[in-house]
């Protein structure tokens, strides 16, 4: 009986353990992976604003999956080409530095689930006021669904929920700005 127990113990000790079983949820490796994932997603949130403000549309759309979706009260744009068209229609294609607005991203909350994640963050668009001074223009909440593809985090779906001004108020403001009033 003792020999059978010894044999079973030796066999179990020598058996290969799958990699997933090695990294317990509270292991240093698993915790480090969560930290790295969290930082990578925070970087996407920051890069999103930086690329938009810098009018780097190639880098901006590359933050999304090929079938990614960007949605707000004005509509939904699915796929990188549609997202780029939305940017060009909304902010134009001019070159040179953007001196009209910038985005602040704050209060990110990221929930990880393996190769999927959700993120919620606040945004504030600061506009150039009539005298050149910074003026708050638009504030709201981004709700993101992200996925890891080929080792990189990408936005699968972003929903922008404008809070101040309301979507109707913002359309009037934006129309007036675009027409030069």
> CA-to-CA distance for 158 and 124, rounded, in angstroms?
16
Buried/exposed code over 124-157 (b: 16+ C-beta within 10 A; e: otherwise): ebbbbeeeeeeeebbebebebbbbbeeeebbbbb
Compute the average pLDDT of residues 156-164.
95
Domain ranges of the chain: 27-178
- Which of 19-23, 122-126, 150-154, 157-161 is predicted with the least confidence, judged by mean pLDDT? 19-23
Helix (H) or strand (E) holding 122: strand 116-128
CATH architecture of the domain formed by 27-178: Roll (3.10)
pTM for the whole structure: 0.79
CA distance 36 to 153: 11
Tokens of 72: 């707000």
Which helix H or strand E contains 22, and what residues bound it? helix 19-22
- Tens of pLDDT, residue by residue over 22-55, are 567 789 999 999 999 999 999 999 999 999 999 9
């Amino acid at each position: 009986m003792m020999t059978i127990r010894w044999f079973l113990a030796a066999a179990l000790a020598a058996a290969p353990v799958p990699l997933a079983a090695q990294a317990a949820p509270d292991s240093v490796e698993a915790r480090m992976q969560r930290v790295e994932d969290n930082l990578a997603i925070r970087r996407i949130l920051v890069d999103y604003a930086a690329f938009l403000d810098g009018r780097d549309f190639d880098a901006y759309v590359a933050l999304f999956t090929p079938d990614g979706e960007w949605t707000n009260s004005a509509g939904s744009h699915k796929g990188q080409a549609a997202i780029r068209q939305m940017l060009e229609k909304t902010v134009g294609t001019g070159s040179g530095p953007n001196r009209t607005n910038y985005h602040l991203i704050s209060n990110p909350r990221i929930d990880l689930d393996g190769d999927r994640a959700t993120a919620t963050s606040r945004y504030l668009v600061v506009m150039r006021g009539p005298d050149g001074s910074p003026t708050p223009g638009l504030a709201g909440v981004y709700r993101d669904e992200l996925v890891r593809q080929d080792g990189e985090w990408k936005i699968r779906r972003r929903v922008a929920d404008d809070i101040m001004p309301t979507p109707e108020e913002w359309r009037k403001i934006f129309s007036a700005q675009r027409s030069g009033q």
